[in-house]
């Protein structure tokens, strides 16, 4: 009897030794997360490393949000998943070694050379839908109500019921109780990534979308999404000029020895351009400058896709100007910033009109670009090593998407008085090294 008592006491005391700290149970607050639909473009689809592939889609911020929503009553979240990892339609980029024209082998993004597991990627999978994640890489806001858009977009063609279906129809197929909408980045990105060669107000792929069209389409999509009483969250568009796509190649990246500087100075003497030993500004094409070329200025950008062999061996930026479709000049940067601000005003107004919170992703991505630290991991906009941006310099890594998801959750929790737990950012990958 006595023995049993002692054993019992010992067990009791050992059990009491454990910390009894428990998290509060999450609550959905004033919103209903039962059926969640995510509207957007490549960022929403989980696009990364220059293409779309299965594990990228599985690490999309909407799928992370959906997993957290499940903790407060959220249901199934269907994505139009690709069958493989290689990338569709193009191959993804991975880190690897390549030898440049100068014979130097260096680590950098190279095309994936693993198993081609892309069979069936182009098959239409609308029968498996409707899908909760209707993010379509490449889609602009102004495309969202265009019938027949899927004829020109392979991603839309995969899961739209008919090529003549409007994106907004696809997005409202599911009767969402909650939606997120991150639309509009491509309405300015196409202009920026093509070096600002398009029109400031046009409907071509490298134009900045006309503000009036953007405004009316954006508002009509929000109207459609909220027509049946859904609550949701709007996400504004980032100022792309702080992303690695524009910041990786430095303006003052032309490094010269004395002899090279002297001969270039001699060659450019008629234009009054001089060079010194050390770092110099690259020479770029500019129709308005004497001789059609000048030195690039700080605050102007050379895009990431500028052929590096041409820079290294073909005299681009030194003997020859870098062609203008690879350069975002000061005027073009202003156009990008103005358009971004104007579109974000439209988004903010739509949020106010519909009582929807707006995630200031523009501001948040700026904090990531300028350097931030979270759970022991540092993030910045440095290409490859910065951790948040994938190998295309535009889209995020899974870890970067997780940061974005948490920022969206903060806004949702704040607005709807919910206490949805944050995503475990460190569960996801950053850039992987060979």
Partner 1 sequence: MKKLCISAIACFLYSSGAFGAGFQLNLQGLRQLAMANTGTAWAWDASSIFYNPGAVSRLEGMQVYGAVNFVMPSVKYVQTPTGGYSAETKAQTFTPFNLYFGGTLKKHNKIGVGIGVYTPFGSGTKWDDNWQGRYINRNISLQSFFVQPTVSYKINELVSVGAGFIYAFGNVKIEQALPVQFATGADSKGTLEGNANGVGFNLGVHVKATEKIQLGLTYRSQVKMKVDDGNATFVVPSSLTANFPNTNFSTKLNLPDVITFGVGYKVNTKLIILADLEYTGWKVYDSLVFDYKTNTSSLADTRTPRLYQSVMAIRLGANYQIMKSLSVSAGAAYDPTPVRDGYVSPELPDANRYVGTVGASFSPMKKITIMAALEFVTSDKRDATFLPANFSGKYQSTAFTGGVGFAYHF
Q: Rounded CA gap, 272 and 190, in Å? A: 34
E strands, 77-134, in order: 93-99, 105-111
Least distance in angstroms from the C-beta of 254 to partner 1? 11
Among 3, 18, 127, 287, binds partner 1 (CB under 8 A): 18
Contacts of 412 (CB under 8 A, 6+ apart): 31, 233, 357, 418, 420
CA dihedral 246, 252, 254, 255 (to 10 degrees): -130
Are 96 and 107 contacting, i.e. CB atoms less than 8 angstroms apart?
A: yes
Q: Is 22 in the site for partner 1 (CB under 8 A)?
A: yes
Q: Rounded CA gap, 391 and 48, in Å? A: 7
Q: Is 330 in the site for partner 1 (CB under 8 A)?
A: no
Among 19, 229, 259, 272, binds partner 1 (CB under 8 A): 19
Q: Rounded CA gap, 85 and 120, in Å? A: 12
Q: Is 252 in the site for partner 1 (CB under 8 A)?
A: no
Q: Is 421 in the site for partner 1 (CB under 8 A)?
A: yes
Among 172, 248, 340, 369, binds partner 1 (CB under 8 A): 248
Q: Is 305 in the site for partner 1 (CB under 8 A)?
A: no
Contacts of 159 (CB under 8 A, 6+ apart): 80, 124, 125, 126, 129, 131, 134, 170
Q: Rounded CA gap, 423 and 418, in Å? A: 15
Q: Where are the alpha helices (DSSP H) in 196-237?
A: 211-226
Least distance in angstroms from the C-beta of 6 to partner 1? 13
Q: Rounded CA gap, 171 and 423, in Å? A: 25
If we measure between CA atoms, which residue out of 299, 264, 301 comes closest to residue 284?
A: 301
CA dihedral 29, 31, 33, 36 (to 10 degrees): -150
Binding piece for partner 1, criterion CB under 8 A, among 23-31, 159-167, 233-241, 357-365: 23-31
Q: How many CB atoms lie within 10 A of CB 297?
A: 12
Q: Is 103 in the site for partner 1 (CB under 8 A)?
A: no
Least distance in angstroms from the C-beta of 83 to partner 1? 20
Least distance in angstroms from the C-beta of 46 to partner 1? 16
Least distance in angstroms from the C-beta of 195 to partner 1? 17
Q: Is 424 in the site for partner 1 (CB under 8 A)?
A: yes
Among 3, 4, 5, 24, binds partner 1 (CB under 8 A): 24
Q: Is 21 in the site for partner 1 (CB under 8 A)?
A: yes
Least distance in angstroms from the C-beta of 312 to partner 1? 7
Of 339 and 431, CB closest to partner 1: 431
What distance, in Å, lies between the first and last C-alpha atoms of the chain?
65
Least distance in angstroms from the C-beta of 148 to partner 1? 39
Residues in region 71-100 near partner 1 by CB under 8 A: 71, 94-95, 97
Q: Binding string, 35-64, against partner 1, x = CB under 8 A?
A: ------------------------------
Are 80 and 173 contacting, i.e. CB atoms less than 8 angstroms apart?
A: no
Place of tokens 């960022």: 43
DSSP H or E run through 187: helix 186-193
Q: Is 323 in the site for partner 1 (CB under 8 A)?
A: no
Q: Is 429 in the site for partner 1 (CB under 8 A)?
A: yes
Residues in region 108-137 near partner 1 by CB under 8 A: 108-109
Q: Is 366 in the site for partner 1 (CB under 8 A)?
A: no
Q: Is 229 in the site for partner 1 (CB under 8 A)?
A: no
Q: Binding string, 401-420, against partner 1, x = CB under 8 A?
A: ------------x-----xx
Cα angle vertex 410, ends 383, 56, to 5°?
A: 40
Q: Is 13 in the site for partner 1 (CB under 8 A)?
A: yes
Q: Is 382 in the site for partner 1 (CB under 8 A)?
A: yes
Q: Is 16 in the site for partner 1 (CB under 8 A)?
A: yes
Phi, psi of 268 (to 5 degrees): -90, 5
Q: How far is CA 75 from the centre of its chain?
A: 26
Question: Which residues sit at the interface with partner 1, rule CB under 8 A?
Answer: 13-14, 16-26, 68, 71, 94-95, 97, 104, 106-109, 248-249, 253, 308, 311-312, 372-378, 382-385, 387, 413, 419-422, 424, 426-427, 429-434
């Amino acid at each position: 009897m006595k023995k049993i008592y002692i054993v019992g006491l010992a067990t009791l005391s050992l059990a009491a030794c454990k910390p009894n700290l428990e998290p509060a149970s999450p609550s959905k607050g004033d919103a209903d997360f039962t059926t969640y639909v995510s509207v957007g473009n490549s960022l929403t689809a989980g696009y990364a490393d220059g293409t779309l592939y299965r594990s990228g889609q599985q690490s999309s911020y909407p799928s992370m949000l959906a997993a957290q929503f499940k903790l407060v009553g959220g249901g199934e979240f269907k994505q139009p998943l690709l069958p493989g990892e290689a990338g569709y339609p193009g191959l993804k980029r991975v880190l690897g070694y390549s030898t440049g024209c100068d014979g130097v082998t260096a680590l950098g993004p190279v095309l994936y050379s693993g198993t081609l597991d892309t069979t069936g990627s182009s098959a239409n999978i609308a029968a498996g839908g409707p899908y909760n994640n209707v993010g379509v890489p490449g889609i602009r806001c102004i495309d969202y109500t265009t019938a027949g858009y899927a004829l020109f977009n392979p991603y839309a063609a995969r899961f739209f019921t008919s090529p003549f279906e409007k994106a907004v129809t696809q997005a409202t197929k599911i009767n969402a109780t909650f939606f997120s909408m991150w639309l509009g980045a491509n309405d300015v990105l196409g202009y920026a990534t093509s070096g600002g060669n398009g029109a400031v107000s046009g409907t071509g792929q490298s134009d900045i979308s006309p503000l009036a069209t953007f405004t009316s389409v954006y508002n009509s999509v929000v109207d459609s999404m909220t027509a049946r009483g859904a609550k949701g969250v709007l996400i504004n568009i980032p100022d792309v000029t702080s992303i690695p796509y524009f910041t990786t190649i430095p303006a003052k990246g032309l490094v010269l020895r004395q002899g090279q500087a002297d001969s270039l100075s001699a060659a450019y003497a008629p234009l009054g351009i001089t060079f010194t030993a050390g770092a110099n500004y690259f020479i770029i094409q500019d129709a308005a400058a004497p001789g059609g070329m000048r030195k690039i200025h700080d605050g102007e950008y050379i895009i990431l896709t500028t052929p590096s062999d041409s820079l290294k061996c073909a005299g681009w930026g030194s003997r020859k100007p870098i062609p203008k479709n690879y350069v975002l000049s000061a005027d073009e940067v202003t156009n990008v910033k103005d358009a971004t601000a104007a579109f974000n005003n439209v988004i903010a107004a739509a949020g106010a009109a519909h009582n929807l919170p707006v995630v200031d992703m523009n501001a948040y991505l700026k904090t990531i670009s300028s350097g931030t630290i979270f759970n022991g991991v540092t993030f910045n906009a440095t290409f490859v090593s910065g951790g948040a941006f994938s190998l295309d310099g535009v889209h995020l890594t899974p870890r970067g998407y997780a940061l974005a998801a948490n920022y969206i959750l903060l806004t949702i929790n704040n607005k709807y008085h919910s206490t949805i737990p944050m995503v475990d950012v460190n569960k996801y990958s950053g850039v992987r090294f060979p």
